[in-house]
Every structure is written in C-alpha cells, then in structure tokens.
Amino acid sequence: MLGRVANTIYWMNRYLERAENYARFMDVNFNLSLELPPNQEQQWKPLVVITGDWELYQSLHSKVEKSKVIYFLAFDQNNPNSIYSCILNARENARAVRTEITKEVWEQINALYYLVKDGLEKSRYTDKNLRSFFTEIKNGCQLVYGMYDATISRNKGWHFGQLGQVLERADKTSRVLDAKYHFLLGSPKQVGSSLDLIQWTALLKSVSAYDMYRKKYGKLTPSGIAEFLILDTEFPRSILECLISAENSLIALSGSAVGFSNTAQKKLGALKSQLEYADINDVINQGMHEYLDDIQRKLNDISSAIYNSFFSIEHQVNNY
C-alpha cells in the first residue's frame, strides 16, 4: 500500500475518533454544568485544556464562557480540532481513498459531514438541541466504526485505520484523566466531597466507562478510576488496551511479532511494557499529572515514528 494512501486512512480514523471524543466530553460537561455552581471558567476551561487548544482559544476570546467554548470546540472553522473541522477533514480523507473503503462507510461519513454543516449554519443552538447534536455526532461516529469493522477486509488499510483510532483514543483518555487531577478541583478540601464524586462520575461517563467501572470496582475511588482508565486490559478505552490493539496492528503491518522491525514498533512496545508492569500506587506517588504528561509525549513520539516508518517519502522510496 502506498504511504500516501495509508497515511490518509490513518488520519481519517483519527479525525473521526477525535470528533466523537469532543462530542462525548461536551455532552457530559454540559450535563455536569447544570448541577454545579455557575462558575463558567472552572466548568469549561478544563475542556479546552484537555484538547490542547487553550492558547488558540485565548487568542480568539478574552474570557471563558459556556457559549464561546461550545462554539469553539464544536463549530469554529478557525479551530483545526473542532468537531466541524475534524468531520470535514475525515470526509476529505475518505474521498481521497474512496476506492479503499466501502460504500457504507463513505455514505455514513458523508452523512456526518452534512450533519455538522447544518450545525454550523444554525450554530446558535438551544440547550436541548445542543444535547441532540452531540448525541447525533456520537452515534454517527459509532455507526462509522461499526460499518468499518463489519465491511472492511482485515488488510493493511484496516490496520492503519485501527492504529489511528486507538492512538487517538489513548491520547484523549489520558487528557481527560489528567484534567480531573490537575484542574477540576478548586481546592484539596473538596477531595471526597459530593462535588468530587459528581466530577469523577462525569469523567467516567465522558469515556463511556461508568457502567464497566462499577461492574468491576463498585465504589468510586480516584485510584480505582485511574487504574481502570490507564491499566485495564479489557476495557476498550483504557490506555493500555488501546496500546495492545495498536501493537497487534503494528505486528500485522511489520510482519514481526518478536522484537521490533521499525522505530514505531520499538517505541510502542516500550510504552506498552511500561504500563503492563506499572502499579497504580507508584503512579500516584510519582505524580499523576507528570505520569500522564509523559504518556502523552510518548504517544506523540509513536505517531511521529509511524509516519517515518510507513508514510514518509524516504520509506516509500526504500520500499520501491
């Protein structure tokens, strides 16, 4: 498969996963804001920080307001990571590799595009309509995942798409957990309070982990939630499970199940092993923010290594 085509499929799936995550975060945060005191900055700033676009937001807006944050993350064409921009980019990538995907996948991505296009044209939603919009985005992206899984042969294209999806998912899980530890509590005195429990519940719901977490752990505890979202090997949105899935696809693409045959395999295997032998108490004692920040940097390094190993011009020339 040409590196250009593989790169396009990889990013098509990353953009779809990013859009779905943004819709998920905003929907849960919107609900949470109805139960908390009206401090808009404390409620909505962490959402922008999670996405890594705080500096861009500051350059466009002088203060944090609910309506401005929602517009920025959902519809703003100046934000390359807004839901609108992500779906637009996913559609353009899908168009470029139309022969590599199925009719069902293309039509569903196209339907998502018209959904966000319509949303952009009437972006001054009421609260009720906003919730419906976020739900439609989540459901629409999940339909793409289901169609992609059910209609695409397990060839190289499928594995590149899987790589993009799970690496994006791992990054967003790390960011939402980091935000809870780093931003959401106004004071250490609030730890263990009803507000704290509401926020932990919202965090789990924002990654669709609430039911599975309660089934496994029962009681809500910061260490249990952190362990579930970072180190669980069965929940599909935990960081470690995402890395396990990514490694399986890299093995299929590289043809090497023992050791490594490229830098991407080496870096991903090292991070996966780090998490496999991690103890959540050691992580918390070391510093949760520092640990998650390190994971995010390593995920970025893995993404760069995937580009250099599979998509770059040098790689294509060498393969040729």
Q: What is the pLDDT of residues 186-234, one digit of tens each?
A: 455 555 567 678 888 888 998 999 999 999 999 998 889 999 999 999 9
Domain count, the chain: 2
Residues 175, 148, single domain; the answer is: no
Residues 124, 237, single domain; the answer is: no
Buried/exposed code over 106-133 (b: 16+ C-beta within 10 A; e: otherwise): bebbeebbebbeebbeebebeeeebeeb
Residues 290, 191, single domain; the answer is: yes
Q: Which of 3-17, 131-145, 161-175, 303-317 has the lowest mean pLDDT?
A: 303-317
Residues 128, 146, single domain; the answer is: yes
Beta-carbon-side half-sphere exposure of residue 241 (alpha carbons within 13 Å): 13
Residues 77, 210, single domain; the answer is: no
Amino acid 123: pLDDT: 62
Average pLDDT value over all residues in the chain: 89
Residues 138, 232, single domain; the answer is: no
Amino acid 28: pLDDT: 86
Residues 176, 77, single domain; the answer is: no
For residue 85, pLDDT over 90 is answered with yes
Residues 159, 277, single domain; the answer is: yes
Domain boundary among 91, 123, 152: 152
* % of the chain exceeding 70 in pLDDT: 88
CB neighbour list of residue 12: distance below 8 Å, 6 or more residues apart: 90, 93, 94, 97, 109, 161, 164
For residue 160, pLDDT over 60 is answered with yes
Tell me: the pLDDT tens digits for 250-300?
999 988 767 688 999 999 999 999 999 999 999 988 888 899 999 999 999
Residues 67, 164, single domain; the answer is: no
- Average pLDDT of 69-77? 92
Which structural domain, as residue segments, surrounds residue 210? 154-320
Q: How confident is the model at residue 54 (pLDDT cuts 50, 70, 90)?
A: very high
Amino acid 193: pLDDT: 63
Domain boundary among 152, 174, 203: 152
31 or 195: whose pLDDT is higher?
31
Amino acid 320: pLDDT: 37
Amino acid code (one letter) for 181:
Y
Residues 172, 45, single domain; the answer is: no
Residues 2, 145, single domain; the answer is: yes
Please state, in angstroms and rounded to a whole number, the distance separating the CA atoms of residues 136 and 23. Answer: 9
Amino acid 66: pLDDT: 86
Burial-class residue 238 by CB neighbours within 10 Å (0-12, 13-18, 19+).
buried
Domain boundary among 152, 178, 195: 152
Residues 165, 202, single domain; the answer is: yes
